[in-house]
A = this chain, B = another copy of it.
Amino acid sequence: MTTDTMIMEVKDFSFTYAGASSPSLKKINLPIEKNKITALIGPSGCGKSTLLRSMNRIHDLYPGNHYEGEIRLYDGDGKGGNILEIKKENDFIKLRQDVGMIFQKPTPFPMSIYDNVAYGLKLAGIKDKSEIQGRVEKALQDAAIWGETKDRLKESAMGLSGGQQQRLCIARAVALKPDVLLFDEPTSALDPISTGAIEELIAELKKDVSIVIVTHNMQQASRLSNYTAFMYLGDLIEYGKTDKIFLNPSVKLTEDYITGRFG
């Protein structure tokens, strides 16, 4: 693991929610490998979402949270800025365009399918109509939802099924050509078939972007990811290649969790 295989790096990172008396994350150290899928697992409330949401600083929507440590986002040359130092609105916008996010529940905007994808591009300052159109199409294709939507681009995105909405949200994020995509339990609200489609899509996407995924489904983590991090009560207990973690964990707690002894 050298710097140039990493896209992000979490260093001695602690996080305390506004008003909370104790930190929800304690001195986390975690590399995010480029063009790989990293899974975050752990029992409910262990801090998976908190960590994920630190990576594009979506926490900053709510004031008063407290960060410590570093989260570096590396560019092509292996140089990395600490995203925790970002202060200006413009830099936030840039960060979020570089590090996209997909939520547990699909979040289509109340507008047409086309506009949902175009919206991010417009926010990014792209004005050229034909460029937008091209990138919307491309993104919908990349998100494997072009076939189902090409004849109804002008219709409201609310009319899509849950699984389609989730793929639309992925398309929306992909359109911005991010470096990293963060997924927070992206399939837990979906049926088995949609789940399969999204899993396939995520596997496909890693060609272009690096992926971090939070999941409760052990099978999903083992099927999908290259690296797995196990968290417990705000600590990162164990991190490593997925095979290693699942077949031969070094820590007893990890084993207990994976074998379903709790959680």
Q: Is A129 an interface residue, CB under 8 A from the partner?
A: no
Q: Which of A45, A195, A259, A260 gathers most chain B CB within 10 Å? A: A260
Q: Using a CB-CB cutoff of 8 Å, which residues 200-224 of chain A contact chain B?
A: 217-220
Chain A at the B interface: mostly helix, strand, loop or mixed? loop
Q: A45-B191, A192-B263, A219-B261 are in contact. List 6 more A-B contacts (CB 8 A).
A: A43-B192, A195-B262, A217-B260, A218-B260, A219-B259, A219-B260
In the assembled complex, A196 has its CB within 8 A of some CB on chain B:
yes
CB contacts (< 8 Å) of A259 on chain B: these are: 219
Residues of B within 8 A of A43 (CB): 191-192
Q: Can you pick out 14 interface pairs between chain A and chain B where the beta carbons lie within 8 Å of each other?
A: A43-B191, A43-B192, A44-B191, A45-B191, A192-B262, A192-B263, A195-B262, A196-B262, A217-B260, A218-B260, A219-B259, A219-B260, A219-B261, A220-B260
**Chain B residues with Cβ under 8 A from A191's Cβ?**
43-45
- Shortest Cβ distance from residue A32 to the other chain B in the assembled complex, whole angstroms: 25
Cα A48 to Cα B140 with chains together (Å): 36
The contact string, 1 if C-beta is below 8 Å from chain B, for chain A 130-161, is 00000000000000000000000000000000
Distance A263 CA – B194 CA, assembled complex (angstroms)? 11
Tell me the minimal C-beta distance from A239 to chain B in angstroms: 21
CB distance from A185 to the nearest CB of B (A): 13
Q: Taking the nearest CB of chain B, how far is it from the CB of A134, in angstroms?
A: 36
Chain B nearest CB from A242 CB (Å) reads 14
Nearest CB of B to A253, in Å: 10
Residues of chain B lying within 8 A (CB to CB) of residue A45: 191
* CB-defined contacts of A220 to chain B, threshold 8 Å: 260
Q: Chain B contacts of A263 at CB under 8 A?
A: 192
